[in-house]
């Protein structure tokens, strides 16, 4: 075995399975972008409050530096910046007035545009769309909009132009129109600590809460308050003060205080240690995604991100659907081989004596007819079809490598000798001549060894695996079936390698 594993030309079964499992893991870790959902989380606040900075701090590692949204004291953000899941990361100018409109790509951008580069694109019609590979923007069980729709969707995180920038229609338009989305996960209100008491911010907060009360949410209306530029010493106090103010405004709107999920986070991004930033991120994402966790105990979002993907396999893409066919092929091959040689004889009851008087062609005809009747198979094509390796999984299936390199390769190894045996048997039967003296001995001499090899190929540890795997067909959930199948394949490969090693050492 040692030698085999050092020789790249001759990799062991275990190495093959490991490689296939790595390919599987890689594919699952990079889900292809699902369609846009209707679900959004909007980040709003005054110009320069720290909205863009917040998003950068949350997503930093996932954003390619060139596409980094500009966060500065200049009035940069004029168009809404929509951030969502996509591979590879890209920045695109899109036309999309409402979250429920399809995004029409206008231009691919290779760097975050300066304000003047965007010309006079109407912020009520155009957005910048930044797609990044942040798994939290990938909603494996959908956007919770339709009752039954559990198809994966992507979440839109939207950085809106701030108010107080003086001239923008968007920033200054009515709260209801821009501050809330069509279907909201949560709203994020960002305010700088030293602007907490600003008259305009309080006014905006009131308008904004009124809009929030009317908006559609996944669960309860959820508001996350983020106070930026906030020195640690003031964080608890200012956080509490803003909360109280929101609660008061909420009551003044005659809204039920218990119906608002309110979170407040006070932070100074410039002062965060890496650990503090990590913990800020966790807290923020926890608050933001909390509404998606509710009422979904059966399929927790916190579960392994692959699970939702695996649960999505259906029909032909569900590997379980292919297990019975593999077992059927193996059984069919065994049955055909048994019929080929009942009681250790290839054509029992047939001998040259019974073929007396036939010329070579008639003799051949007769033997093939008897042979096929014995096999219960009318012709060679059908025989080959019954022993064919089933079709592969589509190339884009995450299990395609494992399926092709392990499952199908082993199934082929199990079935090919049977196919070869039957092809050979046909050829051997066609060569029987009127002068052949002992049919039984002739057939045994030409076929016994191949028959034995074909039977043996079906008596493998892989064939055992296929048989036990049938128990997985009815097993739910599918991810468990897949996990079991993969573990079994690794065990089987190790066993096969050990066997080969033991044989070599005998
Ligand atoms: N020191 C410090 N600077 C911040 C903080 N939050 C934002 N900034 C800076 O304030 C400026 C305006 O922030 P930006 O995110 O562009 O504000 P926006 O207009 O709301 O998007 C930028 O230079 C940010 O880096 C913070 O918590 N502490
Ligand atoms: Mg900004």
**What is the per-residue pLDDT across 321-330, written as a single tens digit (0 to 9) for each?**
889 999 999 9
Smallest-distance ligand from the CA of 164: 1
Contact 236, 244 (CB under 8 A): no
One domain, residues 204 and 253: yes
One domain, residues 187 and 327: no
Domain membership flag for residue 277: yes
Mutate to test the pocket of ligand 1, among 51, 53, 115 (most ligand atoms within 8 A of CB): 53
- Tell me the helices (H) and strands (E) count for the chain, helix number first: 17, 10
Residue 439: pLDDT over 60:
yes
Question: How would you classify residue 41: left for phi > 0, otherwise alpha for psi between -120 and 50, otherwise beta?
Answer: beta
One domain, residues 235 and 370: no
| Ligand 1 centre distance from Cα of residue 109 (Å) | 24
Domain membership flag for residue 485: yes
**pLDDT the model gives residue 186:** 94
Give the residue from 311, 343, 366 where a domain finishes.
311
Mutate to test the pocket of ligand 1, among 43, 45, 48, 198 (most ligand atoms within 8 A of CB): 48
One domain, residues 282 and 407: no
**pLDDT the model gives residue 252:** 93
CATH code (residue 46) = 3.40.50.300
* Of the listed ranges 308-312, 414-418, 479-483, 488-492, the one predicted with least confidence: 308-312
Give the residue from 311, 344, 379 where a domain finishes.
311
Q: Whose CA is nearest to atom 18 of ligand 1?
A: 48
Q: Whose CA is nearest to atom 14 of ligand 1?
A: 50
Smallest-distance ligand from the CA of 77: 2
| Ligand 2 centre distance from Cα of residue 192 (Å) | 13
Ligand 1, atom nearest to 54 Cα = 15
| Ligand 2 centre distance from Cα of residue 189 (Å) | 13
Q: Whose CA is nearest to atom 6 of ligand 1?
A: 50
Ligand 1, atom nearest to 53 Cα = 15
Residue 58: pLDDT over 70:
yes
Question: How would you classify residue 26: left for phi > 0, otherwise alpha for psi between -120 and 50, otherwise beta?
Answer: alpha
Confidence of residue 128 (pLDDT cuts 50, 70, 90): very high
**pLDDT the model gives residue 5:** 43
Average pLDDT over residues 124-146: 87
CA atoms within 13 A on the CB side of 155: 24
Q: What percent of the chain has pLDDT above 70?
A: 89
Residue 289: pLDDT over 80:
yes
Query: CB within 8 A of 500, min separation 6: which ones?
Result: 1, 4, 12
| Ligand 1 centre distance from Cα of residue 48 (Å) | 6
Domain membership flag for residue 37: yes
One domain, residues 19 and 49: no
Give the residue from 253, 278, 311 where a domain finishes.
311
Number of structural domains (the chain) is 2
Query: How many angstroms separate the CA atoms of 506 and 503, rounded?
Result: 5
Residue 423: pLDDT over 80:
yes
Domain membership flag for residue 299: no
| Number of neighbours of residue 169 by Cβ within 10 angstroms | 11
Q: Tell me the pLDDT tens digit for each residue of 180-202.
A: 889 999 999 999 999 998 887 88
Q: Whose CA is nearest to atom 13 of ligand 1?
A: 50
| Ligand 2 centre distance from Cα of residue 160 (Å) | 7
Mutate to test the pocket of ligand 1, among 46, 58, 71 (most ligand atoms within 8 A of CB): 71
| Ligand 1 centre distance from Cα of residue 49 (Å) | 6
Smallest-distance ligand from the CA of 78: 2
Domain membership flag for residue 359: yes
| Ligand 1 centre distance from Cα of residue 44 (Å) | 13
One domain, residues 226 and 268: yes
| Number of neighbours of residue 70 by Cβ within 10 angstroms | 15
Pocket of ligand 1 (CB under 6 A): 45, 47-53, 71-73, 77, 162, 190, 228-229, 267-270
Domain membership flag for residue 226: yes
Domain membership flag for residue 286: yes
Ligand 1, atom nearest to 228 Cα = 27
One domain, residues 351 and 447: yes
| Ligand 2 centre distance from Cα of residue 206 (Å) | 21
Confidence of residue 312 (pLDDT cuts 50, 70, 90): low
**pLDDT the model gives residue 474:** 82
**pLDDT the model gives residue 354:** 92
| Ligand 2 centre distance from Cα of residue 75 (Å) | 8
| Domain range for 60 | 31-293+304-311
Mutate to test the pocket of ligand 1, among 47, 50, 79, 114 (most ligand atoms within 8 A of CB): 50
Residue 8: pLDDT over 90:
no
Per the structure block, which two tokens stand in for 88? 């590879």
* Of the listed ranges 76-80, 352-356, 472-476, the one predicted with least confidence: 76-80
**pLDDT the model gives residue 478:** 77
Q: What percent of the chain has pLDDT above 90?
A: 57
One domain, residues 320 and 394: yes
Q: Whose CA is nearest to atom 10 of ligand 1?
A: 50
| Ligand 2 centre distance from Cα of residue 283 (Å) | 22
Answering whether pTM is above 0.85, one says no
Query: CB within 8 A of 75, min separation 6: which ones?
Result: 47, 115, 165, 166
* Of the listed ranges 26-40, 50-64, 96-110, 180-194, the one predicted with least confidence: 26-40
| Ligand 2 centre distance from Cα of residue 215 (Å) | 23
Smallest-distance ligand from the CA of 73: 1
**pLDDT the model gives residue 281:** 95
Average pLDDT over residues 479-500: 90
Average pLDDT over residues 367-376: 96
Query: CB within 8 A of 290, min separation 6: which ones?
Result: 222, 261
Q: Whose CA is nearest to atom 28 of ligand 1?
A: 229
One domain, residues 47 and 123: yes
One domain, residues 86 and 227: yes
More confident residue, 104 or 28: 104
141 phi, psi to nearest 5 deg: -110, 25
Query: How many angstroms separate the CA atoms of 132 and 364, rounded?
Result: 69
More confident residue, 391 or 183: 183
Average pLDDT over residues 407-420: 96
Smallest-distance ligand from the CA of 228: 1
**pLDDT the model gives residue 305:** 61
One domain, residues 467 and 381: yes
More confident residue, 465 or 113: 465
One domain, residues 200 and 227: yes
Domain membership flag for residue 298: no
- Helix, strand or coil for residue 54? helix
């Amino acid at each position: 075995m040692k030698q085999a594993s050092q020789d790249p030309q001759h990799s062991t079964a275990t190495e093959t399975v490991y490689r296939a499992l790595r390919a599987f893991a890689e594919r699952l870790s990079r889900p292809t972008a699902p369609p846009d959902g209707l679900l959004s989380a909007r980040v709003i606040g005054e110009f320069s409050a720290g909205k863009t900075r917040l998003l950068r701090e949350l997503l930093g590692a996932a954003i390619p530096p060139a596409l980094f949204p500009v966060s500065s004291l200049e009035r940069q953000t004029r168009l809404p910046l929509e951030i969502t899941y996509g591979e590879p990361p890209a920045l695109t100018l899109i036309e999309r007035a409402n979250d429920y409109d399809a995004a029409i790509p206008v231009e691919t951008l290779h760097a975050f545009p300066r304000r003047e580069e965007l010309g006079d694109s109407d912020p009520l019609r155009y957005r910048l769309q930044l797609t990044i590979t942040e798994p939290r923007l990938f909603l494996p069980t959908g956007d919770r909009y339709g009752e039954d729709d559990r198809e994966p969707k992507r979440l839109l995180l939207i950085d809106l132009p701030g108010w107080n920038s003086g001239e923008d229609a968007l920033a200054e338009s009515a709260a209801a129109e821009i501050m809330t989305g069509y279907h909201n996960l949560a709203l994020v209100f960002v305010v700088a600590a030293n602007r907490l008491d600003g008259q305009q911010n309080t006014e905006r907060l009131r308008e904004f809460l009124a809009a929030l009360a009317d908006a559609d949410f996944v669960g309860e209306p959820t508001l996350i308050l983020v106070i930026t530029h906030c020195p640690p010493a003031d964080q608890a106090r200012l956080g509490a003060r803003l909360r109280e103010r929101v609660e008061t405004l909420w009551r003044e709107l005659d809204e039920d205080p218990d119906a608002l999920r309110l979170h407040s986070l006070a932070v100074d991004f410039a002062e965060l240690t890496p650990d503090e930033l990590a913990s800020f991120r966790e807290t923020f994402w926890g608050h933001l995604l909390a509404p998606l966790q509710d009422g979904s105990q059966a399929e927790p979002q916190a579960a392994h991100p692959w699970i939702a993907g695996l649960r999505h396999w259906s029909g032909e893409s569900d590997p379980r659907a292919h297990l019975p066919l593999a077992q059927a092929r193996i059984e069919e091959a065994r049955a055909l081989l048994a019929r080929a040689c009942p009681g250790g004889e290839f054509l029992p009851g047939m001998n040259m004596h019974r073929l007396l008087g036939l010329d070579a062609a008639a003799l051949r005809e007769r033997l093939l007819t008897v042979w096929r009747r014995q096999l219960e198979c009318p012709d060679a094509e059908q025989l080959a079809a019954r022993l064919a390796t089933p079709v592969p999984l589509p190339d884009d299936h995450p299990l395609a490598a494992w399926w092709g390199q392990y499952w199908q390769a082993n199934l082929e190894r199990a079935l090919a000798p049977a196919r070869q045996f039957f092809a050979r048997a046909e050829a051997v039967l066609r060569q029987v001549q009127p002068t052949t003296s002992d049919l039984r001995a002739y057939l045994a001499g030409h076929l016994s060894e191949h028959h034995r090899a074909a039977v043996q190929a079906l008596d493998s540890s892989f064939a055992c695996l296929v048989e036990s795997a049938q128990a997985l067909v009815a097993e739910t959930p599918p991810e468990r079936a897949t996990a079991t199948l993969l573990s079994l394949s690794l065990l089987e490969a190790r066993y096969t390698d050990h066997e080969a090693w033991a044989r070599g050492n005998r």
